[in-house]
Amino acid sequence: MITPQEIRSKTDKKYILFLQSLVEGVPFSKLVIRGNKIYNKSSLPEFEKEIQQIISQSKEKKGFGYSLDFQRVKTKYLGTQDLPVSIFFDSEKDFLKFLGKEKEVELFKTSVGKIIIAFPELHEWVIKNPIRVITNYTEWDGIIRVCQYFRQNPKPNLYIRELPINVHTKFIERNKSVIRELLDILLIGHINYEYKEFEKRFHLKFSELLIRFKILDKEISQKYFSGLDDIAIPTSQFETLNLPAKRVLVVENKTTLYTTLTLPKMDKTIAIFGSGYSVNNLKNTQWFSAVELFYWGDIDVQGFEILSQFRSYFPHAQSMLMDKVTFEKFFENDNGTPTNVSAMLNLTEQEQQLYELLKINNWRLEQEKIPLYWIKEKF
């Protein structure tokens, strides 16, 4: 037989449908909770206990909640008994008080009213997202102000904290997720759909990632950067650099970037901190196509997967110090990180063979383990 806990669980599952019906203007109607007809057939005391548990939490005993309809039935094992044949809520008040949701529903109704009055086109979103409406109930005044601003200024070209909206400076950052959902509906025709990032998607200024690089040619350093040789600039500025560089070395780890300081100064050469899979930040650097391009990563499966990724942007990229001779000379039996990659990689035959060896044995030789004398020999 159904228990009070099961009745509560099934009632909880009706709550979202109830909220949706409020938005759609559907009047409350008798809400039935499906039970079952299984009961203890061998013990009359146990059967009576089950019945009393259900009755104890009903409207009959508590003054609110679910009601019960009984039917007198002649049972095979326990004689004639009154069995519950229907469990139901006959009013919205009983339903909400049973769930303890009266105050929450009032807040929901208030929030829905604000949203729909401001933006009728969000009606379907509200129906699909009633819990989002509830969880953000303290924020709706601010969210609506933000949406109204963007409706009037669909391409602000300002930083988020510069926007002239009467909300806390961190308000939009805290509520980006829900605001984005709404703006995707409200700003059709004014959205950069190719971007997921909030700022790019909605025409805002943003703090760009920095590309860090080292100038290994003293003449370039003096002429273009007043002698500075360790530099970090925004990605967009790096993409438009116009340097007389002929060779570019992208290194995976920051420590290895420091190592380049000790290399003999190389004519028309710069070294760049690729930061692992973040090499994707370099993919729009078109001037790379006109230079001799090298990638130097750890000798492990991830290093070769990043090399393959880098080659998808720049097919002419060569690997440096990622060869079998270097691996066998300095390998110290370190374990790597297993990979789930099964796709074909963009590697040379020799690189692919080493990659498979590393993958099978889960081996790794980190860049930092390669001594300076060997690096200088190869450069």
Domains and CATH numbers, the chain: 4-100 (no CATH), 103-201 (no CATH), 210-378 (3.40.1360.10)
- Residue that is written with structure tokens 């326990």 in the block: 78
Q: What is the reported pLDDT for 2? A: 77
For the chain, 379 residues long, give each residue's pLDDT as a single digit of tens.
678 888 899 999 999 999 999 999 999 999 998 866 565 555 677 777 878 888 888 898 899 999 998 767 776 666 666 677 789 999 999 999 999 999 999 999 999 999 999 999 999 999 999 999 999 999 999 999 999 999 999 999 999 999 999 999 899 999 999 999 999 999 999 999 999 999 999 999 988 889 999 998 999 999 999 999 899 999 999 999 999 999 999 998 877 776 665 566 678 999 999 888 889 999 999 999 999 999 999 999 999 999 999 999 999 999 999 999 999 999 999 999 999 888 889 999 999 999 999 999 999 999 888 888 888 777 6
